[in-house]
A and B are shown apart, each in its own frame.
Chain A
Amino acid sequence: MSLTSEQVRKVASLARLELSDAELSDLGAKLGQTLDYVARLNELDTDGVEPLVHAIELSNVLRPDVLAPSLPRDRGLANAPRTDGKHFLVPAILEG
């Protein structure tokens, strides 16, 4: 199967990816091939099988609730594409 360009566009929008027309058509075909391949999982009856999310099944790993130093602001901002030294800058999100 191949995903329709409509489907690929919808997934790209959910993924926040701007794609060229060439990329959209390549992705439709390549994703389709992979989905065809993974369809073999339907050969297996998995009723009653508990999903395995993590190989080492730890739960509720807790630590004492104490203050500890975190990354200083200047280092946290050091890789920001745009900053005023205190904040990360983004385009205006409200009209007017």
Chain B
Amino acid sequence: MSSLLNLPAAELVTRLAAGDVTSAALTEECLAAISQRDSSVRAFLNVDVERSLAQARSIDARRAAGESIGILQGLPIAVKDLICEEGVSCTCASRMLENYISPYSAHVIERLRAAGAVLVGRANMDEFAMGSSGENSAFQVTANPWDLERTPGGSSSGSAAAVAGRLTPMSLGSDTGGSIRQPASLCGVVGLKPTYGRVSRYGLVAFASSLDQIGPFASDVHGAALLLEAMAGHDPRDSTSVDRPVPSYTNSLNEPLKGLRIGVAREHFAEGLDDEVAEVVRRALDVYRSLGAELIDIELPHSKYAVAVYYLIAPSEASSNLARYEGIHYGHRTEKAGSLADLYARSRGEAFGTEVKRRIMLGVYALSSGYYDQYYVKALKVRRLIRNDFDAAFAKVDVIAGPVTPSTAFKLGERTSDPMAMYLSDIYTIPANLAGIPGISIPAGLSPSGLPVGLQLQAAPFAEETLLRAARMFEAATDHHRLIPPMARS
């Protein structure tokens, strides 16, 4: 019998809703897949077998009693280990929070539970979401299911690998500079970063508050639309969450967009993009042309400054957000404390990893007296220019299409000693975070060496419906999302 986990999320939801499959049976398949394959993928930091089965059985019992289950219908979901769930550990893949148990649940966790999700486990990540390969986790290195010697990308390494390795049909990640879209691309799954403010950040451990957004991973566009629909919407506990109605993203998903105008930016195909990625992306643009879309040249002249802007703004915000880890209220506390000042410095020095220290230091430097205008304020001004580029582009086009990341999955260990090379893997994803616009990575096929390549679509603020419909048009015409890594075929 072919595994249920090889089916796209859309089909699983239909079968659950019809009662053809129980949530308990599907959850058991996930747990079996995790026990068989996660020793080589290492996507999960923590899996609670009894609890997830209890959740699934309770959903099945409610369905049997004729109660309505939410739109997720009992689908098993993995959660990146930086989203708080009451009573569950939330480590951020850091020694700092190794023993931390969340005292409350994030808004998205409340929403997913209400929508009928089964939360099976906690996904690995780069420490405090700082990284592009997953290798900054303090606990384990997640492998790419397409090639276990390669990175799944990061920082949502475990969330992407769990879906690609067919361990769970969906997962939650967070995206500050590309941490959903880049791993989705490298793992050949769908990953969406919503508009800033579309999803509440209440209960998301903060990295860079003006850039962070929670978003979905799924094996198909329908799954991503469903998960976004379940969690989007206003929450007064996050003052940056925007009070706007949430459309049913799944209802309109299969309606092709007539007269779709797709922007293609020369800057996305400039030096630095690998030929094999460029080739797959160009073929994807041809698919859209064949579907009747109009391809329009646009310019994003300030996009080449985005990485520089990001590496001033994100560390500045991080240095402030991570000041809360001081060894007193929660988190690691040194055994060697002398004075209070020593307690702070030693607790932090002992428990933070190298990359987290680098970013805190960079942020403190950029914000320090004498450098604030030169670095931080300068970056905020260029951030405005980047946003203006997008505003001008979206006056002419509905979506912008291009690459997600310059290369296919690189080898584990290849870039760990060169932070700048690692930072540049987010060159095409960072601008969306700076501008606050939504972006999605969808599978666009395999490179000649057999590794997944993603296509990135970006849209104007709150145009997720357009973004998802445009993504679905491509998916329906190509079926790349049905490709499954050899190790996960059953």
Interface residues of A (CB under 8 A from B): 3, 8, 11-20, 23, 26-27, 30-31, 33-35, 37-38, 40-42, 44, 46, 49-56, 58, 61, 63, 71, 75-76, 78-82, 88, 90-91, 93
Contact = CB atoms under 8 A, between A and B. Distances in A.
Interface of B: 99-101, 103-104, 195-197, 210, 236, 239-240, 242, 302, 305, 307-309, 311-312, 319, 323, 326-333, 337-346, 348-350, 352, 354, 357-358, 360-362, 364-365, 368, 375, 377-385, 387, 419-420, 423, 433-437, 461
B305 A44 contact: yes
B361 A49 contact: no
A70 B333 CA distance: 25
Given A44-B382, A46-B378, A71-B104, A17 B236 contact: no
Given A11-B361, A38-B311, A51-B384, A17 B210 contact: no
Contact of A30 (B103, B352, B358, B434): B358
B419 A34 contact: yes
10 shortest A-B CB distances, which residue pairs?
Answer: A55-B436, A51-B380, A18-B349, A79-B330, A81-B333, A46-B381, A52-B384, A18-B345, A61-B239, A38-B308
Contacts of B354: 23, 26
13 contacts: A8-B361, A11-B361, A16-B348, A17-B357, A18-B350, A31-B362, A37-B420, A44-B382, A55-B197, A55-B434, A58-B240, A76-B103, A91-B343
Contacts of A56: 195-197, 240, 242, 436, 461
B196 A15 contact: no
Contact of B326 (A3, A16, A61, A71): A16
Given A11-B361, A58-B239, A82-B333, A52 B387 contact: yes
Contacts of A71: 103-104
A16 B325 CA distance: 10
A90 B345 contact: no
Contacts of A3: 365
Contacts of A11: 361, 364-365, 368
A16 B343 CA distance: 9
B260 to A, nearest CB: 25
B205 to A, nearest CB: 13
Nearest to A51: B380
Nearest to A63: B236
B361 A41 contact: no
A61 B344 CA distance: 33
Contacts of B330: 79-81
Contact of B319 (A15, A41, A75): A15
Contacts of A18: 342, 345-346, 348-350
Contacts of B358: 27, 30-31, 34
Nearest to B211: A55
Given A49-B384, A71-B103, A90 B196 contact: no
Contacts of A44: 302, 305, 382, 385
Contacts of A38: 308, 311-312, 375, 379
Nearest to A46: B381
Nearest to A43: B305
A75 B103 contact: yes
Given A14-B368, A78-B103, A50 B381 contact: yes
A42 to B, nearest CB: 8
B209 to A, nearest CB: 9
Contact of A40 (B305, B357, B377): B305
Contact of B210 (A12, A49, A54, A78): A54
A17 B364 CA distance: 11
Contact of B340 (A12, A37, A90): A90
A41 B307 contact: no
Contacts of B345: 13, 16-18
Contact of B361 (A31, A46, A51, A81): A31
B357 A19 contact: yes
B348 A41 contact: no
Nearest to B365: A11
Nearest to A8: B361
Contacts of B434: 52, 55
Contacts of B305: 40-41, 44
A3 B419 CA distance: 16
A25 to B, nearest CB: 13
A87 to B, nearest CB: 10
A1 to B, nearest CB: 12
Interface centre among A14, A33, A81 (most CB of B within 10 A): A81
A12 B361 contact: yes
Interface centre among B343, B345, B365 (most CB of A within 10 A): B365
Given A51-B383, A88-B329, 7 more contacts: A17-B352, A23-B357, A34-B362, A37-B423, A38-B312, A63-B236, A79-B103
A31 B328 CA distance: 29
Contacts of A91: 337-340, 343
Contacts of A61: 239-240
A31 B346 CA distance: 21
